[in-house]
Structure 1
Amino acid sequence: MSSKAPSTRTRAAAPQTTRARLQSIIKESRNIMRKDAGLNGELDRLPQLAWLLFLRAFDEVENERRALDRSYKPAITGTYRWSAWANGDLTGDPLLEFVNGDLLPHLRETRGSQSAGDTRDTLASIFANIDNRMLSGHLLRELVDQIDKVDFANADDLHTMAHLYESMLKEMRDVAGDSGEFYTPRPLVRFITDMVNPQVGEEVMDPAMGTGGFLVEAFEHMIVNARTARQREKVQASIRGFEKKSMPYLLAQMNFLLHEMDGARTVQTNSLMNPIADMRRDGVDVILTNPPFGGEEEKGIQSHFPANQRTAETVWLFLQAVKARLEKRKGRCGIVVPNSVLFDQGVGARIKADLMSKFNLHTVLRLPNGVFAPYTIIPSNVLFFEHGKQQDHVWFYEHPLPEGRKNYTKTKPLQFEEFADCEKWWGGSDREGRVENERAWKVPLTDIVDGKYNLDLRNPHRPDDLTHRSPSELVAELIDTERELLGVLEQLQREIKEFSA
């Protein structure tokens, strides 16, 4: 299907895009989308806004590259460029016909050299599963006009948009949480990245990157130490990621674009699709990740893993994939895992035994309740390990809740400053000088082996709360727990009704 190419109108010079003005533009854009019958809730509106913002920002990036390099070949050309069609006269049905019948099919079919990092291939991957969900061409015209007011050309404006985009990502995570997906809080991402400490020249991967939080943090961590143009190029080329779902992948690309991560090598695919031997050959130096909790993989995926370590549970397969990716380069990792990984003594025990036969599991960070609130109440932990001989002990650190708090909540989330004591205890890059205290303790390797690799171990320095708390406190906590459980059951009931409808 083909429509008449849109004529171009002159674009007025955009005023400086202050944060307040950006917020006003985004607010008005969302008000416009609320009027369209094709968009139902934020899970529809935010993706629609995201892909249009992506095209607007990408057009500015292409313009800048053309200005700096006359030989640069744009990935989007002709009437498909934002500056061509978005500033045209099309509206109503003709605009819908162009977007649905020409623009999006063209972007899906864009092909490059198939080499890693080719922008044209990235575009095709991004738009493979993107559709325009708006039914009114007149409202789409209004939305496009609003988004065209955002000026991405100025570096300061780009930084401002990056800040606002992070708040949009948070909202996307909030509504995605209602669908059973949740993402890693940025303070935790930053702390894990700082402790693993990726260096210039090292390749960093997240095999379940979601919206790209770990990779953005790793990039920013390394780029401040890149002193030369060559080192900056190395950092740009050192970021790798995989994401299975189309919408998080689009959001990640927008995230990378706004953080000027032009060289990130990412693929929209299930990173568990590759045989374990291929993962070993395609190694990296550092992995930072929070793989999906509670997911299950089909038998075809499971067959890629050793027979005695096969399981449908996604988190166990990711842990094996991480080990494989780190073996060749003798790398290191920080990975978020649920409590089940700590206490599982079936196939999980065999996977943990294999981990500790090839890697040094040096630290288990035990996180308190509510770190992932409001998406899940599942207790979580972070495993830190590096390739090499397992030490004769494993350190555990119990991150405390702020004084007077029983858990984190959506309105009172985790803050980065709360990791200050743990960072001080950590002992730098060599982890020397660690001592036991009320939050930290070490467990002999022999005890872990004798316990069949159970890592769900209680802090011996903390008295049993049940014996030192009043009955009224215990009853209040039980009531809170029951309310949380009721909320989970009500959400499950809603999902069952939606599925059955």
Structure 2
Amino acid sequence: MLQNNPELKSKIDQLWNKFWSGGISNPLTAIEQITYLLFMKRLDELDLKRQADAEWTEENYTSKFEGTWIPPEYRARREEKDTEADWARKLQDEKKYQIEKFTLRWSEFKNRQAEDMLQYVQGKVFPFLKDLNGAESNFTHHMKNAVFIIPKPALLVEAVKTIDEIFAVMEKDSQEKGQAFQDIQGDVYEFLLSEIATAGKNGQFRTPRHIIKLVADLVQPQLGHKIADPACGSGGFLLGAYQYIVTELAKKAGTTNIKPDEDGFIRTSVAATLTDKAQAILSASLWGYDIDSTMVRLGLMNLMMHGIDEPNIDYKDTLSKSYTQEAAYDVIMANPPFTGSIDKGDVNENLQLATTKTELLFVENIYRLLKQGGTAAVIVPQGVLFGSGKAFKDLRKLLVERCDLKAVVTLPTGVFKPYAGVSTAILLFTKVWGPKDQVDKPATEHVWFYEMAADGYSLDDKRAKQEGYGDLQDIIAKYHARDAEKDTDRTAKSFMVPYSEIVDEKNDYDLSLSRYKEDVFEEVHYDAPSVILDRLIQAEVGDVDDSELAKVQSGIVRELLELKGIIG
């Protein structure tokens, strides 16, 4: 969407430049501070919209900005020794610190003078934001150590002004092009996240949104599924699952005005067609974990800005001994860290692979986290498919014998640029046998391979949108019709390989596509050497009779004539 809206992209670039020139040069710090401001703005807009909708439908809605708010540090706390008089006095003292909630709205505080605005946002608005869902909420717990560090009043004023302009352009775009406002907002937020230059540290890469949508269309999560990402970052895969489910429910409810996006996917974040019960089920279905507290906060706010009021994103190392969940999820969608490592002494003892490589441990852990019959789609470096080490082979053996390994989709090298040029693949598998089950027979019968050549974007650092969808929609269509491909041509983009071939002595559990793909060699006819030499000589001297060639003194021509005489 941003490729087609230069005005919006320009506004976002202005916002980044203002933070850079205003003294916040660390991109991760900048995106965190920008996110807080976006959240304040969106919270105000959503609240006003819900108030207006409630008046129209005559439903009950209590504004988040109705009444008064007391900062946690000033709230009265009753002790056992307090008499009624003591308690009454404490309550009376508490009232001195009451703040009218309506003054904490974006639309209210943005009209303050610069110095006053900065003090008010730092001292009142931001603490209110941190306390938004109550003292016991997951959001408040993870916002506890968050700080608002915009250093200059002028920077805050400029940022507030620019964000207002960004929202105005989004609203205009929504009205003119018919795209849901939440979806445009999602595009903007994802674009902001893409600017995090520190992405790629320890093998962590932001997954492009169209790849997330591809994975969701392959897995097809359903309402009622318990869905997880054990290395969720900013929550992209959880949001992808949410949007897929909401879209399918909207289509079932008769919604017909959702148009395909620039990558050919039909998506909406608007959950208007969901009943309260369905919304509650869906919100309780999404679970994410990450070891970076900043990314946990970004993920929480990302999902909240898309309509999920209480996201289940937590700070946890899912590979460590402290994480004990097992067989808990119906669907897992993930792009876990590549090339990272974990302290051998902290690896969960339930993980059997003899390695500290996170790209292997995460896949095994995802297998353990799946319920029997649960399905996972995991992005891995292609080295996992053919690595010769014992741990690599043991993991592949687990995938084809204890799981139904449905597909291996190789991705082009440039998909994760500009962060990295690593070659990757998507593994899709369903857990059939548990870690302690006796395997009666291997769970995999055939593995479907697909070699993606293009994803609809240039494969250089610019990742510019190309015409068409690349192979995205072809992959989805052929994957869901793959059972008809058991005898397909191995020279095609996609083909099936039987279990027996994968495990035979020659292949020994190798899952690299090149092992099974047959190359097509096109016969090329070249002119005879003498004809080529005549063409080179003519290019040097022009149209000259053979009798005149000897008179030409060019060294190049003499050498070409000598060479022609040698070969005849």
Does the alignment reach a TM-score above 0.5?
yes
Q: State the Cα distance separating 1:425 from its structure 2 match.
A: 2.3
Aligned to 2:494: 440
C-alpha spacing 1:263/1:432, structure 2 compared with 1 (3 Å): farther
Contact 2:174 2:184 in 1 (8 A): no
Partner SS state of residue 450, structure 2: strand
Aligned to 1:173: 194
Aligned to 1:399: 452
Contact 1:22 1:161 in 2 (8 A): no
C-alpha spacing 1:33/1:184, structure 2 compared with 1 (3 Å): closer
Aligned to 1:332: 375
Amino acid at match of 1:235: L
C-alpha spacing 1:387/1:108, structure 2 compared with 1 (3 Å): same
Counterpart selection for 2:325 from 272, 279, 296: 279
Counterpart selection for 1:420 from 456, 473, 484: 473
Counterpart selection for 2:314 from 267, 272, 282: 267
Deviation digits for residues 295-351 of structure 1 (CA, Å, limit 9, x no counterpart) = 122345313433x41432222221122111213x52001110001211223222223
C-alpha spacing 1:30/1:261, structure 2 compared with 1 (3 Å): same
C-alpha spacing 1:130/1:351, structure 2 compared with 1 (3 Å): same
Aligned to 1:121: 138
Aligned to 1:302: 347
What runs of 5+ residues in structure 2 fail to find an aligned partner? Answer: 70-98, 254-273, 433-441, 527-568
Partner SS state of residue 320, structure 1: helix
Contact 1:396 1:440 in 2 (8 A): yes
Q: State the Cα distance separating 1:65 from its structure 2 match.
A: 5.4
Counterpart selection for 1:362 from 396, 401, 406: 406
Contact 2:360 2:392 in 1 (8 A): yes
Amino acid at match of 2:155: L
C-alpha spacing 1:32/1:379, structure 2 compared with 1 (3 Å): closer
Q: State the Cα distance separating 1:360 from its structure 2 match.
A: 0.5
For 2:100 and 2:344, how far apart are their aligned partners in 1? Answer: 45
Aligned to 1:204: 227
Q: State the Cα distance separating 1:406 from its structure 2 match.
A: 10
Deviation digits for residues 258-288 of structure 1 (CA, Å, limit 9, x no counterpart) = 4323354222333334656x3215x111111
For 1:371 and 1:182, how far apart are their aligned partners in 2? Answer: 10
Counterpart selection for 2:283 from 236, 254, 270: 236
Amino acid at match of 2:350: F
For 2:280 and 2:13, how far apart are their aligned partners in 1? Answer: 37
For 1:246 and 1:31, how far apart are their aligned partners in 2? Answer: 25
Contact 1:162 1:255 in 2 (8 A): no
C-alpha spacing 1:400/1:435, structure 2 compared with 1 (3 Å): farther
For 2:485 and 2:461, how far apart are their aligned partners in 1? Answer: 34
Aligned to 1:59: 44
Give the aligned length: 438
Aligned: 1:256 with 2:303: yes
Partner SS state of residue 379, structure 2: strand
For 2:517 and 2:508, how far apart are their aligned partners in 1? Answer: 23
Aligned to 2:365: 321
Report the more deviating stretch, 71-80 or 45-54.
71-80
In the superposition, the TM-score normalised over structure 2's length comes to 0.66
Aligned: 1:40 with 2:83: no
Aligned to 1:12: none
Counterpart selection for 1:143 from 130, 134, 159: 159
Deviation digits for residues 157-200 of structure 1 (CA, Å, limit 9, x no counterpart) = 89446425524523532443665342222222212211111122
Aligned to 1:385: 429
C-alpha spacing 1:165/1:396, structure 2 compared with 1 (3 Å): closer
Partner SS state of residue 223, structure 1: helix
C-alpha spacing 1:146/1:426, structure 2 compared with 1 (3 Å): closer
For 2:246 and 2:452, how far apart are their aligned partners in 1? Answer: 29
Partner SS state of residue 322, structure 1: helix
Contact 2:405 2:430 in 1 (8 A): yes
Aligned to 2:418: 374
For 1:79 and 1:312, how far apart are their aligned partners in 2? Answer: 53
Over aligned residue pairs, what C-alpha RMSD do you find?
A: 4.0
What runs of 5+ residues in structure 1 fail to find an aligned partner? Answer: 1-18, 115-119, 471-501
Partner SS state of residue 330, structure 1: strand
Counterpart selection for 2:391 from 327, 330, 347: 347
C-alpha spacing 1:141/1:286, structure 2 compared with 1 (3 Å): same
Deviation digits for residues 121-174 of structure 1 (CA, Å, limit 9, x no counterpart) = 31441x345333332123323433543564799995894464255245235324
Amino acid at match of 1:343: F
Aligned to 2:208: 185
Partner SS state of residue 427, structure 2: strand
For 1:185 and 1:313, how far apart are their aligned partners in 2? Answer: 24
Q: State the Cα distance separating 1:466 from its structure 2 match.
A: 12
For 1:287 and 1:241, how far apart are their aligned partners in 2? Answer: 10
Contact 1:275 1:305 in 2 (8 A): no
Higher CA-based Rg: 2
Q: State the Cα distance separating 1:382 from its structure 2 match.
A: 0.7
C-alpha spacing 1:129/1:435, structure 2 compared with 1 (3 Å): farther
Partner SS state of residue 182, structure 1: coil
Aligned: 1:69 with 2:63: no
For 1:398 and 1:85, how far apart are their aligned partners in 2? Answer: 54
Q: State the Cα distance separating 1:373 from its structure 2 match.
A: 1.8
Whose RCO is larger (CA < 8 A, sep 6+)?
1
Partner SS state of residue 329, structure 2: coil
For 2:525 and 2:427, how far apart are their aligned partners in 1? Answer: 31
Amino acid at match of 1:147: I
Contact 1:129 1:246 in 2 (8 A): no
Aligned to 2:548: none
Report the more deviating stretch, 214-223 or 128-137.
128-137
Contact 1:112 1:121 in 2 (8 A): no
